Amino acid sequence: MSQDGVEVASIPAVVGPLRVRPSSNPIGDRLVLGAFSLAALLVLLLVVALFMTLTVAAWPAIKTIGLGAFRSVTWDPTNGKFGMLSFIYGTIVTSAIALLLAGPIGIGAALLLAEVAPRRLATPVAMLIELLAAVPSVVYGIWGLFVLAPVMRNVIEPALGHALGFLPLFQGYFYGVGMLTAGVLLAIMILPTVSAISRDIFEAVPRDQREAMLALGATKWEVLTRAVIPYARSGIIGAIVLALGRAIGEAMAVTMVIGNKPAISASLFAPAYTLASVLANEFTEATGQQYLSALIGIGSMLFIVSMIVNMLARLLVRGAAGPRTKRV
Amino acid sequence: MPLQIRQAWNALMLTVTWLCAGVAAAMLAFIVIYVIQRGGPALSVNFFTHLPTPVGVPGGGAANAIVGSLMIIAMASIIAIPIGALAGIYLALLGRGWLAQGVRFFSDVLTGVPSIAIGVFAYTIIVVPQKHFSANSAAVALSIIMLPIIVRTTEEAVKLVNPAIREGALALGMDAWKAIVLVTVPCARAGIVTGALLGIARVAGESAPLLFTAFGSQFWTLKPGAPTAALPLLVFQYAIAPYQDWQLVAWGGALTLIMLVFLLNITARLLFPAKLPR
């Protein structure tokens, strides 16, 4: 997130690009500096290779199954039916639930860490939240399967059904595994992404922004909602889009709690599938070239969507965070 | 609005922010405590020394998965750490222009690409031509996931080295490459090691890309060209199995993974407490 060549007064240690002067050892310079450049070039070539391979790999799927797959719900590989609409639906619904839950909570936590809590408390709490990001997704999955799903089935889904059962969203059987459980689990998984990036964004808001409002007699909360958050808006959106990218691509944890059923249901309690979870669940069992190429096509779609989402998010975050500021 | 109401609202909403952070911290505590409770009893000597047993046969372990995971992670590190560190040094010291901007931007983008899509990539370019699953295809997939983290952390670490040190070396007549390799890079070594540790921590618990690369195995497999067991894969496969003794092994695996990943993360942060790229 740092920008080249921008000098920030508080960081004496920012290094400008090296000016390569006439050297007494031009061959050594060229070899070693060339190795550095080559490594950098490799990273870029890797991205190109990923993009090309996954785009080309989708081709057999498009050719044999056709774009009609996007309009069809029927996923019946043994009979050659590869409708992907239910996966797209499941991905959108679970990601939306995750963002609705993790967005406000993550931003609230980021406000606390960046603006409200004393530094000596904010640092350890931030570290705890970041450890949440380090928990492997399969551990989230096993916890979701054995702890979260029973709680959802016995407590939360009946309560929601009782209170909001007039909405089609909260009708039907309480399975425990389904879109709502997957969405809640995803919310926990993306919470650290929202809060860590938002915290960086809040810390990059200039001090004058706050002081001007404090001088006018505003309360802390008024400063936050009217001076800090509006200034940080595009960066916050970036943080949420980044979290969306994580939610779309999560495979293992989701496949363990979503019930793995290719269906579109109005009820959030119902089992479903997402693009990533169908890949995780069926790839190793896929028999037949057509089945396999359909799944690879799903992988390509996931890659391309996530590239777009992440590029957008990074542009938003980068614009907002500006040059990296030193953490005091 | 009267001042009292504004102040009351202020107090209320600031409390809400405390609750938000509290929810996040509580989730971590819930998960970790529960995994310790369930996984603790599974971590016997057998777990680390024995092969998995068939259903109903007691004394099964996950030794082959642990060794398989270590092998895959080691191979991935051998690929990703040198390239990532060199590219990071490039970004910090030489990087300007389209190449540097592109590498920075796409490294950040790459950290967000789903690991399962990277698994499909490794499957397409390695498993399909090889015609069988293998540890080395898994290592390639994991190295791609590690790479951007190592690149960006190394860049930050090398940038933090005071340029005056390098300029001093140059002023004394040192070659530019020697000044980098012998002066700047050693000053940044804690941060570079941190980058490697964070990269390893990121992939140590990855299971999705291993599904179609390492594939898993019930046996000892130490050949990089053969299907290999891996701990995250075993946790997945045993957790969804309907047998209690397998589920116990899965919990043990989950606890092992969480301990390993936390240990790596905390070490990395203590080693290099500066702000890390996200």
| pLDDT tens readout for residues A243-283 | 999 999 999 999 999 988 888 888 888 899 999 999 988 88
**Do both B235 and B173 map to the same domain?**
yes
> What residues make up the domain containing B179?
45-271
**Do both B166 and B58 map to the same domain?**
yes
pLDDT of residue B114: 93
Portion of chain A with pLDDT greater than 90, in percent: 34
**Do both B150 and B226 map to the same domain?**
yes
CATH number at residue B241: 1.10.3720.10
**Do both B72 and B167 map to the same domain?**
yes
Question: B123: closest CA among B133, B110, B113?
Answer: B133
**Do both B24 and B62 map to the same domain?**
no
pLDDT of residue A4: 46
* Closest CB to A306 among B20, B100, B112: B112
| pLDDT tens readout for residues B208-231 | 999 888 887 777 777 777 888 889
How would residue A19 be classed by pLDDT, with cut points 50, 70 and 90? low
Question: A292: closest CA among B123, B137, B208?
Answer: B123
**Do both B158 and B30 map to the same domain?**
no
How would residue A325 be classed by pLDDT, with cut points 50, 70 and 90? very low
Q: Does residue B276 register a pLDDT over 70?
A: no
* Closest CB to A36 among B94, B215, B262: B94
How would residue A16 be classed by pLDDT, with cut points 50, 70 and 90? low
The two three-digit tokens of residue B177, written as one number: 């490459």
pLDDT of residue A244: 94
SS3 call for A186: helix
pLDDT of residue A189: 94
- Domain tally, chain B: 2
**Per-residue DSSP letter, A69:** G
User: How many angstroms away from the CA of A163 is the closest CA of chain B?
Assistant: 23
> Cβ separation of B239 and A141 shorter than 8 Å?
yes
In terms of Cβ atoms closer than 10 Å to its own Cβ (0-12, 13-18, 19+), residue B163 is: middle
* Closest CB to B17 among A108, A283, A326: A108
Q: Where are the domains of chain A?
A: 78-321
pLDDT of residue A24: 60
In a domain, residue B247? The reply is yes
In a domain, residue B168? The reply is yes
Q: Does residue B9 register a pLDDT over 70?
A: yes
> Cβ separation of B278 and A197 shorter than 8 Å?
yes
B118 touches chain A (CB under 8 A): yes
Partners of residue B215 on adjacent β-strands: B228
> Cβ separation of B124 and A37 shorter than 8 Å?
no
In terms of Cβ atoms closer than 10 Å to its own Cβ (0-12, 13-18, 19+), residue A64 is: middle
Among chain B residues, CA nearest to A278:
B116
Residue window 94-113, chain B: list those with CB within 8 Å of chain A: 94-96, 99-103, 105-110, 112-113
pLDDT of residue A104: 94
Q: What is the CATH number of domain A78-321?
A: 1.10.3720.10
pLDDT of residue A23: 55
How would residue B149 be classed by pLDDT, with cut points 50, 70 and 90? very high
Q: What is the mean pLDDT of residues A117-140?
A: 89
Q: Are strands A75-76 and A81-82 parallel, antiparallel or unpaired?
A: antiparallel
B38 touches chain A (CB under 8 A): yes
| pLDDT tens readout for residues B158-208 | 988 888 888 888 888 888 888 888 988 998 888 899 999 999 999 998 999
| pLDDT tens readout for residues B172-184 | 888 888 888 898 8
**Do both B142 and B216 map to the same domain?**
yes
**Do both B227 and B264 map to the same domain?**
yes
Distances (CA, A) of B200 to A50, B116, B191, B195, B261: 21, 17, 14, 9, 8
Q: Which residue has 């031509």 as its token pair?
A: B129
B142 touches chain A (CB under 8 A): no
A80 dihedral zone (left: phi>0; alpha: psi -120 to 50; beta): left
SS3 call for A263: coil
Cα B42 to the chain's mean position, in Å? 24
Name the least confident of A10-19, A190-199, B36-45, B117-126: A10-19
> Cβ separation of A246 and B163 shorter than 8 Å?
no
pLDDT of residue A128: 87
Q: What is the mean pLDDT of residues A13-42?
A: 71
> Cβ separation of A131 and B17 shorter than 8 Å?
no
How would residue A92 be classed by pLDDT, with cut points 50, 70 and 90? very high
* Closest CB to A131 among B28, B114, B158: B28
The two three-digit tokens of residue A8, written as one number: 């920030």
| pLDDT tens readout for residues A45-60 | 999 999 999 888 888 8
Cα A229 to the chain's mean position, in Å? 21
Tell me which chain A residues have a C-beta less than 8 angstroms from the C-beta of B90: 36-37, 39-40
* Per-residue buried b or exposed e for B76-91, using 16+ beta carbons within 10 Å of the residue's own CB: bbebbbebbbbbbbbb
* Closest CB to A279 among B18, B116, B180: B116
Distances (CA, A) of A106 to A44, A202, B26, B93, B275: 32, 13, 13, 35, 19
**Do both B50 and B37 map to the same domain?**
no
pLDDT of residue B63: 82
**Do both B7 and B119 map to the same domain?**
no
User: How many angstroms away from the CA of A172 is the closest CA of chain B?
Assistant: 25
**Do both B22 and B137 map to the same domain?**
no
The two three-digit tokens of residue B52, written as one number: 């998995």
Distances (CA, A) of A243 to A18, A58, A194: 36, 25, 6
**Do both B86 and B186 map to the same domain?**
yes
Tell me which chain B residues have a C-beta less than 8 angstroms from the C-beta of A307: 109, 113
Portion of chain B with pLDDT greater than 90, in percent: 40
pLDDT of residue A323: 47
pLDDT of residue B219: 75
| pLDDT tens readout for residues A131-158 | 898 999 999 999 999 999 999 989 888 8
Taking the C-alpha atoms of residue A251 and residue A8, their distance in angstroms, rounded to an integer, is 41
Q: Does residue A2 register a pLDDT over 70?
A: no
3-state secondary structure chain B: CCHHHHHHHHHHHHHHHHHHHHHHHHHHHHHHHHHHHHHHHHCCHHHHHCCCCCCCCCCCCCHHHHHHHHHHHHHHHHHHHHHHHHHHHHHHHHCCHHHHHHHHHHHHHHHCCCHHHHHHHHHHHHHHHHCCCCHHHHHHHHHHHHHHHHHHHHHHHHHCCCHHHHHHHHHCCCCHHHHHHHHHHHHCHHHHHHHHHHHHHHHHCCCHHHCCCCECCCCCCCCCCCCECCHHHHHHHHHCCCCHHHHHHHHHHHHHHHHHHHHHHHHHHHHCCCCCCC
Taking the C-alpha atoms of residue A305 and residue A297, their distance in angstroms, rounded to an integer, is 12
Please answer whether residues B92 and B158 qualify as being in contact, where contact means their C-beta atoms are separated by less than 8 angstroms. Answer: yes
Dihedrals phi, psi of A84, to nearest 5 degrees: -110, 5
> Cβ separation of B103 and A40 shorter than 8 Å?
yes
Q: Does residue A21 register a pLDDT over 70?
A: no
pLDDT of residue A144: 93
Partners of residue A81 on adjacent β-strands: A76
